[in-house]
Amino acid sequence: MAPPRSCRTPKKSIGTDTAQVSYGDPHHGTFGGNDSTYVSFEATVTSGNQTGIVDGELVCMVVQSNETIVIVAAPQGHLDPVIDDISAMLKSLRAG
């Protein structure tokens, strides 16, 4: 399964707003029966004189023939405690 074409745009916009972004390997699977491609990323974000590291997930899904993009990010170390909640949210996505 190829990732939705719209996945390219969020990756570019994340890189535009940050000093450096590192992506993990893409994974393919399903959430709630929806074809999905997801990738973890770590970004060094600079805003004014401050710099911080952000952990995130970029998820591209096809929900009833509609491309859906979900970007979740949190300060480094704060994403892992809520990853089960994020998975539950992704499994519940439906087109209206």
Task: For residue 8, give every residue at least 6 positions away whose Cβ sits within 8 Å of its Cβ, in sequence order, or none.
Answer: none
Q: What does the mean pLDDT of the chain come to?
A: 79
pLDDT at 89: 84
Confidence of residue 80 (pLDDT cuts 50, 70, 90): confident
Domain membership of residue 69 as a residue range: 5-91
Q: Is residue 86 part of a domain?
A: yes
Q: Is residue 96 part of a domain?
A: no
Distances (CA, A) of 81 to 22, 39, 62, 68, 87: 21, 18, 26, 24, 12
Please check the confidence at residue 13 and state whether its pLDDT lies above 50: yes
Predicted local distance difference test score (pLDDT) of residue 15: 59
Q: Give the global pTM.
A: 0.71
Q: What percent of the chain has pLDDT over 90?
A: 2
Let me know if residue 42 belongs to a domain: yes
- Specify the pLDDT at position 66: 81
Q: How many structural domains are present in the chain? A: 1
Q: How confident is the model at residue 29 (pLDDT cuts 50, 70, 90)?
A: confident
CA distances from 35 to 31, 43, 51 (A): 7, 26, 35
Residue 87 is part of a domain; what is its CATH number? 3.40.1000.10
